[in-house]
Each structure stands twice: as structure tokens, then as C-alpha cells.
Structure 1
Amino acid sequence: MTTTKAAEVRLEGVGKRYGNVTAVKPLDLVIEGGTLVTLLGPSGCGKTTLLRMVAGLEQATDGRILIGGRDVTLLSAGERNVSMVFQSYALFPHMSVLDNVAYGLISSGFRKKEAHAKAEATLETVGLKGFGARLPSEMSGGQQQRVAVARALVLEPEVLLFDEPLSNLDARLRRSMREEIRALQQRLGVTVIYVTHDQAEALAVSDRIIVMRNAEIAQAGTPAELYSAPDNVFVATFMGEANHVRGAVTALDGDMADVALGPLHMRLPHRGLPVGAADIVIRPEAVRIAESGLPARVARATYMGSQMEYHFATEVGEIFATSPDRAHRRAPGEDIALTFDPEGIMVVRP
């Protein structure tokens, strides 16, 4: 199977209002051709509205949308050469899998024989060779998801859109399906815009992640950038587990700062923040039990099989930590001290 050349998606001042309610504040965004970009954020942040504007299912109130350099702002969904995979899959229950996949081609004027041949080839692409005669009800949730992807791919879109595609699957199947979607995207080189509220899903599949909050972009970057260098407390705590505590920047020296966390003093990048009280984010895996440091008491200790989870009471607040060391378990009530790996602790904006 071949796809149309991967297209760049460019949003210029694109926004959406419903009366007095702003669903998406005007924003600029460029999605490079052949990449998988995830719109990530909590419910109501505007990510699905933004996706639907790219799809042509919602009309932008402001700005322009360009796909492959072509202005599609005023074009209908059928004129945009994009395909969408919905959360519900939206398969026709009375049609065979093959007819489901071929439906869009037949509707657009392909002869049935040619449409079925293309559908068969696309089913093979998603690992469902030989499943064409089945009904959707005879397929597992993961297989139905693949049928929905095949139905979108068979149209050879310039851009493939996913709206919370894995939310109906159990945790183990979600993990395998996100790997399949990522591998398929890389193999075909198609441009993908992917919407989810699941941070682990976004980290696993994305070239870039656009974190949205309150109808605007909070931060955009690679998964590693957003996890290790978040701009603010919201992005830091949304991108995986994080402890948010208050400390102080006591002095600046070039790009570095002297940072105090209770009696513990560290040198960290100041990231443009001034001397004074500061928000500090600590990843659970960066917490270390040490001979000296921030005094702490074990409040809770939980055995999780592959790791230990701890809640420590400290003068700056409760700190949650994970540890792969299951052999030397710390008991509730035990007094210890904490230090932190520099790459897992950061000063951030409020």
C-alpha cells in the first residue's frame, strides 16, 4: 500500500468560539509532514475541537488552516484529503470487515472490485489479512480498532487524525495498540495528529507533544523536553508523576542557581527565574535515600512488585518516591534523609 506524500499542517491564528464561549484561543502551530504530533491535555482544554477543525468537522472562527500548502479553511471534510479514526470506531455492524474498509472508496466512485482489492491490501498492512469476511461483532476490541485504522488508511490521506483511539481498550491492549500505531505511522510516513488525555500514551507514540490547557497551548516540545524541562507547574505535573514543593532561589551564577529546599542546598539551572521563593518539581524516580540531606520520615511504604513506592513526610511537604530496591525496604516511621538526582529536579514557573 502507498500513501500520499506526507503533508505539513499549518495553523495560522486558528481559533474557535461558540457564542461567548472560547473553545480554542487563536493559536499558531506547524506540524511537519511525516511526523506524529499529539494534542495532550485534560477534558475541556480544546484539543478535540482543534482536531475537528483540521478535519473540517468544525469551522474555524478565526485564522487559516493549510494542509500541504493548500488553504483548506473553508473546505468541507470531504474536500480535505484527511481521514479520522474515532474513539467509538464507528464501524457498520451489518457489513463485513472488508466492506467496512472499502466503503469510503466505493462512496467516492471506485468500482467494487478495485475497492475490495485496495481494502484487502490495507487490511494486510494493519495485520488483519484473511479477516475480511468477518463481521465487526466477531472481532476483539483491538481488532476493531485496526479495522477503523484500515478504513482511514485505505483513502490514502495526506493527514491521519486520531481522536482518543485507545480509550475503549484495557491497559495491556492499549500498550500494544499504541506501539502498533506508532510503527505503522513510521513505516508509511504519513502525517498523524493524535488526541489523548493519557500522558503515557503521548510519551510512547509522539515525535512532538502539544500540551493544551484552558483553550491554548501550554507548551510544545519533544516527549523528553516536556518531561525533563517543563515550562511550568501544570506541564510538569501533567507529564507524569511529579512532586510540587516550594523552595527558594538564593543566588544566580550564569545559567545556574543556588537553590534551597529546606536545609538542602543544590545547584540547578535557573531557567530565567529570579532570586526569591520558587516552585520546585521533583520526579519520583529522582528521589534518593541518603546519609544526609532533607530530613524525612517514612509515612507509607508500598510493595508494587517491580518497585517500592514511598510517601515521605518532610518540612517542605509530602514527597512521593519510587525505588527499584525491593531488598532494603524502609518501614513507616523510620527517619531518613533525602537527596535528588539533578536531572529529575527542576525549578519551574508557577
Structure 2
Amino acid sequence: MSRAAEVRFERVWKRFGANSVAVRDVSFTVPAGTLCTLLGPSGCGKTTTLRMIAGLEYPSEGRVLIGGRDVSALPPAERDVSMVFQSYALFPHMTVLENVCYGLTVSRRPRREAEAAGRAALDSVGLAGFDARLPSELSGGQQQRVAVARALVLEPSVLLFDEPLSNLDARLRRRMREEIRELQQRLGVTVVYVTHDQAEALAISDKIIVMNQAVIAQEGTPRDLYENPASAFVAGFVGEANRLPATLRRLDGQEGEVRVAEARLVLAHRGLPDGPAELALRPEAIAVLPAADPAAMLSGRVSKAAYLGGVVEYTVDTGAGEVFVVSPASAGAHAPGEPVGLRFGTHGAALLPGA
């Protein structure tokens, strides 16, 4: 495996025609040997950003650097990157080994050497002994591993994934994302990974870059983004979040008292002034209690309840509006129409800047 390389964007723009901006003045750094996910809704610019790393698109302005080298105008073959596509793009008439060795073959690597490298790459993804099979004889997860092996055999310094799990069912998706993460950590390669699946991004990433409308909305660790969203968009996109009207009274340089209807809690005020504010509250940060429980902070009435096995999802009507709660099923059940009390935890609660 080649040495992992840092990826850096410096004020990159990408325009398609006179009036269409796909990426607007974007700057970020992916440290060498880490897994960074570009996360966002369709049309936000994440795939265009990935394609500019790969050399499949060129920036209209700004610079793309890999390992400190400006590659903005270089073709894909000169960038030392490999890409795993959403469709896997396997050749149906070639065997697994021929698919994996294809890049080495076209670069005129001796056949015996290419096949040895191909078998080693297949072994690294758990497909030793699958050499002679055709793609049609493999499961979706196995095809995805072949695509990864084909990318790895070229020993890239940066490995790119374009929504590689979107064609798999939920259980296989979970297993494959764990395998990709384990492989990245074992090999130490730099990975840039595109997805619109928030759970996938949270599960595998060292760093997440959330994009919206061609710009970066926020970047940071999964925990940073989940617990301290920088905007209402990030709070709602990276996991579920209740957005409740609140009033802030600063207590000191760090914390403030936040009032949500009759509820009170103390949180980091994040530099916001006294007055109207908006609270982002994660559904799992709320406990549903009997209405008379003295620990209840906010009263309400259950309007919907959905049993999902390990958890129960509630919608509760309160003086602050509808509140969505995800409660452990072991905590007991509350029926629609039942009066309840809600208790807020401070873990999973954050004031939204700019609210």
C-alpha cells in the first residue's frame, strides 16, 4: 500500500455553465490516514467535490492538493487515487481476478506479477479463492468487495467511495460499512467517502464534512456535529432533532438558563445574547414519565406511539409544540391520549446559533 496522503481544497469553485454553481468557495483538509465523509442531501455538491479529487471534474477556481502537490489540472491517472463507484462497475464477462487486475493489466504490469497482487488484494477483503467466479455469481456484498479490491490493488494514497452501499439492503449495509472502516484502519489509507446516510457517516468517520447548497455547513468529528450543531440544517440532517422555541438568560461567560415553556435547563449559551432562542433536542435525550412524576420538566399528552421492538417512538403535544421522543421499550408504554411528563437531558441538547 502506498503511503497515505493528505487531501486539501483551497477556495475551490465548480461551475457548470454561467448560472449553475455546484461547489462554492470550499476549503477543507482531510488528514493523511483518516476517513472523511462528505455528507449532505442530493444536489449539495458532495459528489462533485469527490469527482474533483478523482480528476473526473476540474475546479473552475481554487486548488486541489494531494500530498501537498497541486493536482488541480492533472488527469486521474496522475493523481495516485482510486475510486469505488456506486454501481461497482465490474466487467460482467471477466472473472473476479481479471476485474481486480484490470488496472494493472492496462498499465502493462507483467501478468504473473499482476495476478499475485490481485490475489493479495482479494485476500485483504476476505475473498481469497473467488478468483475464477464471474460477478453474476456473487452477492451484492461480494461484488462491492471486488470493487474495493480492484481499487486497492493500485496501491493508491487516497481511496474514494461514491455512495458504495446504496444498492445493498440495510443489514448488509451495516456489515459492509464496518468492513470498510476496519480495512481503512488496518491499511492506514486516506479515505474520502460520500453518502447521504447520516447513520453511515456517524458510524465510520474520523471527520464529517456536511455540505448544503454547494457550501460547507459544518465540519468536525461525528460527536461534534451531533452534540453541537452549528445550524438548524445540521441539527436536522445529522440525526433527528426537535427544534423548540426557547428563551435564554445568560448566567456567566459559558452557561445560560434556557426556558422551554415551563421547563428550565442550564446549557452552554454558545455566545448567544439574552432573549428568544431555539433549542435543538435529540429524541433520545428526552425521558417520558408519568404526568405526576416530580422529575418531569414539561407536561404534555401523547398523540402518537409506535412500538419498534427495542424502542418506542412517541409524539407528545406540549406547550412548546410537538416533541418527538425515542424511548427504550423497557421504560414502559404510554398510550395515545395519555397525559405524560417529559424530562430533558443536557446531553443531546444544544442552542442553535443564528436562531
What's the TM-score, normalizing by structure 1?
0.98
1:255-287 deviations in Å (ceiling 9; x for gaps): 101111001111111011111111111111111
Query: Distance in 2 between the 1:332 and 1:71 partners?
Result: 60
Per-residue deviation, 1:250: 2.9
Query: Distance in 1 between the 2:284 and 2:10 partners?
Result: 39
1:121-178 deviations in Å (ceiling 9; x for gaps): 1000000000010000000000000000000000000100000000000000000000
State the identity %: 60
Per-residue deviation, 1:95: 0.3
Query: Distance in 2 between the 1:21 and 1:303 partners?
Result: 45
What is the RMSD of the two structures over their aligned residues, measured on CA atoms? 1.0
Instruction: List alignment gaps of at least 5 residues for structure 1.
Output: none
**Matched residue count:** 348
What corresponds to 2:335 in structure 1?
331
SS in 2 for 1:88: coil
Asked whether 1:10 is paired with 2:8, we answer: yes
Instruction: List alignment gaps of at least 5 residues for structure 2.
Output: none
Aligned runs of 1:1-350 on 2, under 5 Å?
3-19=1-17, 20-290=19-289, 291=293, 292-326=296-330, 328-349=332-353, 350=355
Instruction: Report the more deviating stretch, 246-255 or 210-219.
Output: 246-255
The question of whether the paired residues in 1 share the 8 Å contact of 2:209 and 2:219 is answered with: yes
SS in 2 for 1:89: coil
Query: Distance in 2 between the 1:307 and 1:9 partners?
Result: 40
Per-residue deviation, 1:328: 2.2
Query: Distance in 2 between the 1:324 and 1:158 partners?
Result: 43
Query: Distance in 2 between the 1:328 and 1:169 partners?
Result: 34
Query: Distance in 2 between the 1:279 and 1:111 partners?
Result: 63
SS in 1 for 2:24: strand
Per-residue deviation, 1:327: 5.7
Instruction: Report the more deviating stretch, 80-89 or 62-71.
Output: 62-71
What's the TM-score, normalizing by structure 2?
0.96
SS in 2 for 1:57: coil
1:174-212 deviations in Å (ceiling 9; x for gaps): 000000000000000000000000000001110000000
The question of whether the paired residues in 2 share the 8 Å contact of 1:308 and 1:326 is answered with: no
The question of whether the paired residues in 1 share the 8 Å contact of 2:246 and 2:278 is answered with: yes
